[in-house]
């Protein structure tokens, strides 16, 4: 079944807001097994909106439209949709009562006349109650095709879709799409795709799709089946083969799990604490760890040692090391990690120091050169990376590789602990 998305709003066309609704709806449609071949954005103009809707209906069975259901004069989605679907507008008393109750609940007695505009619906439409706003969602059906109208604010659209629209769409599909995500670090996009080139060729069901992220590569494995159990059986051999090829470079196969969550989980598993010592990333790494609920159990503290003086005073880097090897060097990174770990009384220390650019690079130490070290109770691993891109990308890439360095060393440490206990 084909679906087309139309996002309504001049503010989207002008770039005033980011169209997150389209991204959400696209992902939901894929998960439901719907084929989406076209998306469009149209401003608050009656003629262009009508043209967009007619075009969408001519080539798709379902049309999902977001935005333009508000109470103001330029909110025209419902009116244009009724015209296209040849339905007259009528007052829906249940929606009117809900609007009244909404304003009573927020203690606003001054309901203006245009608020009642949202209680006017196309005749015969399926009205979807909006528990987070005053504009209901609407489903208009005609001759085997349907238009689904959703309010624009994400705080209203997302829950309304999940509670009301998704069940409606599920009834239309005999088969659904089920997927899992294989998330990989320490392998570039080109190499990762080459490693599974034979799996990508001639695939039908399940399928593998690569997605490049900053410092990571994700592969979505998707199967079309009637039940999740049947889909998982189809995906299992592919997932097993991916694990065989990428090994420990895979940090999770759970779509919702992030790299920083994996690191925090490993620290908790080993009952270890960590401290960060950052130069060019300026606290971004510790910030990523803090994003994880419960990080306070493992994150002891973070040092931002941007200047040489800070490296000396806060974490005890030797002035001789800085003078002879420079701030961007494996030797300095090692002393930062170990010095920070000891200063904080933590089990693990991670350090990052580099040239983020756009200036400051030399022939020996170009922009993008970043040195890192990870110390776990005195056992230290040093690495140097060469990243490309602008300052922001270099810093973000550094954080990803820093997290992965911690992950890899924690896996070795925990494996050693288990081996020691077994012995």
Check residue 422 and give its pLDDT: 63
Query: What's the residue count for the chain?
Result: 423
Backbone angles phi, psi at 351, to 5 degrees: -130, 150
Decide yes or no: CATH 3.30.70.2860 for domain 176-252: yes
Q: What is the pLDDT along the chain (423 residues), one digit of tens a residue?
A: 899 999 999 999 999 999 999 999 998 888 787 889 999 999 999 999 999 999 999 999 999 999 999 999 899 999 999 999 999 999 999 999 998 888 888 777 777 788 899 999 999 999 999 999 899 999 999 999 999 999 999 999 999 999 999 999 988 877 777 889 999 998 988 999 999 999 988 788 999 989 888 999 999 999 988 888 999 999 999 999 999 999 999 999 998 999 999 999 999 999 999 999 999 999 999 999 999 999 999 999 999 999 999 999 999 999 999 999 999 999 999 999 999 999 999 999 999 999 999 999 999 999 999 999 999 999 999 999 999 999 999 999 999 999 999 999 999 999 988 877 765
10 Å Cβ neighbour count for 416?
A: 12
289, 295, 296, 297 alpha-carbon torsion, rounded to 10°? -130
Residue 229, C-beta contacts closer than 8 angstroms, at least 6 positions apart? none
pTM higher than 0.85: no
What's the CA gap between 116 and 180, in Å, rounded? 44
pLDDT recorded at residue 348: 98
Residue 51: φ, ψ to 5°: -60, -45
* CATH 3.30.70.2860 intervals, the chain: 176-252
Distances (CA, A) of 101 to 97, 137, 159, 224: 6, 17, 19, 43
Q: Give, as one character, the DSSP assignment of residue 74.
A: T
Sign of CA dihedral 33, 37, 43, 44: negative
Class at the top of the CATH hierarchy for domain 259-422: alpha beta
Residues of the chain with CATH 3.90.950.20: 259-422
Domain with CATH 3.40.980.10 in the chain: 2-172
The CATH classification of domain 2-172, taken from the options 3.30.56.10, 3.40.980.10, 3.90.1150.60, 3.40.190.10? 3.40.980.10
Contacting residues for 382 by C-beta, under 8 A, at least 6 apart: 330, 333, 334, 371, 372, 373
């Amino acid at each position: 079944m084909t679906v087309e998305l139309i996002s309504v709003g001049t503010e989207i066309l002008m770039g005033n807001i980011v169209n997150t609704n389209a991204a959400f709806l696209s992902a939901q449609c894929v998960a439901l097994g719907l084929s989406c071949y076209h998306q469009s954005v149209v401003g608050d103009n009656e003629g262009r909106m009508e043209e967009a809707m007619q075009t969408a209906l001519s080539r798709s069975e379902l049309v999902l439209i977001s935005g333009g259901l508000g109470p103001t004069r330029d909110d025209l989605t419902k009116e244009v949709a009724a015209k296209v679907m040849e339905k007259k507008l009528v007052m829906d008393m249940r929606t009117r009562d809900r609007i009244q109750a909404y304003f009573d609940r927020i203690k606003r007695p001054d309901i203006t006349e245009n608020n009642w505009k949202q209680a006017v619906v196309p005749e015969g439409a399926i009205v979807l109650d909006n528990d987070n706003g005053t504009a209901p969602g609407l489903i208009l059906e005609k001759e085997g095709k349907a238009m689904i109208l959703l309010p624009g604010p994400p705080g209203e659209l997302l829950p309304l879709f999940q509670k009301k629209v998704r069940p409606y769409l599920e009834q239309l599909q005999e088969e659904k799409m089920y997927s899992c995500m294989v998330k990989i670090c320490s392998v570039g996009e080109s190499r990762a795709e080459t490693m599974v080139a034979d799996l990508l060729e001639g695939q039908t069901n399940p399928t593998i799709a690569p997605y490049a992220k900053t410092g990571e590569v994700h592969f979505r494995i998707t199967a079309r089946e009637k039940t999740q159990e049947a889909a998982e059986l189809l995906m299992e051999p592919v997932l097993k083969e991916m694990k065989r090829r990428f090994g420990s470079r895979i940090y999770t196969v759970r779509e919702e799990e992030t790299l920083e969550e994996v690191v925090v989980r490993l620290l908790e598993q080993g009952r270890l604490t960590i401290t960060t010592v950052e130069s060019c990333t300026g606290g971004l790494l510790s910030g990523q760890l803090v994003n994880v609920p419960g990080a306070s159990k493992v994150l002891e503290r973070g040092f931002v040692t941007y200047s040489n003086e800070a490296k000396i005073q806060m974490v005890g880097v030797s002035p001789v090391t800085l003078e002879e090897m420079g701030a961007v060097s494996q030797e300095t990174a090692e002393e930062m990690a170990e010095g920070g770990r000891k200063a904080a009384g933590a089990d693990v220390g991670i350090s990052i120091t580099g040239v983020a650019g756009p200036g400051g690079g030399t022939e020996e130490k170009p922009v993008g050169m970043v040195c890192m070290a990870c110390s776990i109770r005195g056992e230290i691993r040093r690495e140097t990376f060469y990243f490309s891109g602008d300052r922001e990308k270099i810093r973000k890439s550094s954080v990803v590789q820093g997290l992965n360095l911690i992950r890899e060393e924690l896996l070795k440490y925990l494996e050693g602990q288990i081996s020691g206990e077994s012995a």
